[in-house]
Chains A and B, each alone.
Chain A
Amino acid sequence: EVQLVESGGGLVQPGGSLRLSCAASGFTFSSYWMHWVRQAPGKGLVWISRITSDGSSTSYADSVKGRFTMSRDNAKNTLYLQMNSLSAEDTAVYYCARVMTTATTGNLNIWGQGTMVTVSS
């Protein structure tokens, strides 16, 4: 079964850091671009970042550029999101998502269940 499982969410103080993980199974992880998307409580989806299949290139939304770093370990079938200098505006459910085919950069057809990040003192 193709599956993505996020972990690492929780409560963090403003200015703090957190690292999210996304464990992939059931497919050849190293062949697919991956994305992170977040959703604040009661709000819409916001695209955060994406990474190429080999991890050589990343792109970020302006709202997180310079604070968040996306990476992957293809040997461990795991995606990461390092989040620094967190503020209340970063409070959200964070989803990792896989692109639909090995030949596309988008079209997210496999999603994890999400992990909640709460930034509060």
Chain B
Amino acid sequence: EIVLTQSPATLSLSPGERATLSCRASQSVSSYLAWYQQKPGQAPRLLIYDASNRATGIPARFSGSGSGTDFTLTISSLEPEDFAVYYCQQRSDWQNTFGQGTKLEIK
């Protein structure tokens, strides 16, 4: 099983600041990595697929990068609605796995 480790566990920032979230895989997942956003009481929402492609309707302030084992989700300028929990997920292995999540909170 491929283990995804996200860091930091919690990120405290203010609106307008830049957020950088990391996801590291225990072995290469090529570019088969997605990022999701989840708000309390809601289902997750797909933000980024295949490492760097924005899903339909996702604002341009969200971007993804990386390949192999190291990936980054960047939010260029935080909006109030961006404060949520973010998860990475790999689909390289037949057992897809999620990271443990990064909580992005308002400072």
Chain B residues within 8 Å of chain A by Cβ, number: 25
Instruction: Tell which of B32, B50, B55, B96 touches A47, judged by Cβ atoms closer than 8 Å.
Output: B96
Q: Taking the nearest CB of chain B, how far is it from the CB of A68, in angstroms? A: 13
Knowing A106-B34, A109-B55, the reply to whether A47 touches B44 (Cβ < 8 A) is no
Q: Which of B34, B46, B100 has the most CB of A within 10 A?
A: B46
Q: How far is the CA of A37 from the CA of B89 in the complex (A)?
A: 11
How many Å lie between the Cα of A112 and that of B80 in the bound state?
25
Q: Is the CB of B91 within 8 A of A107?
A: yes
The main secondary structure of chain A at its interface with chain B is strand
The answer to the question of B98 belonging to the interface, with a C-beta cut-off of 8 Å to chain A, is yes
Give the residue of A62, A105, A106, A112 whose beta carbon is less than 8 angstroms from that of B43: A112
Q: How many A residues have CB within 8 A of the partner chain?
A: 22
B residues apposed to A, CB below 8 Å: 1, 32, 34, 36, 38, 43-46, 49-50, 55-56, 85, 87, 89, 91, 94-101
Binding site for B on A (CB under 8 A): 35, 37, 44-47, 50, 59-62, 95, 100, 105-109, 111-114
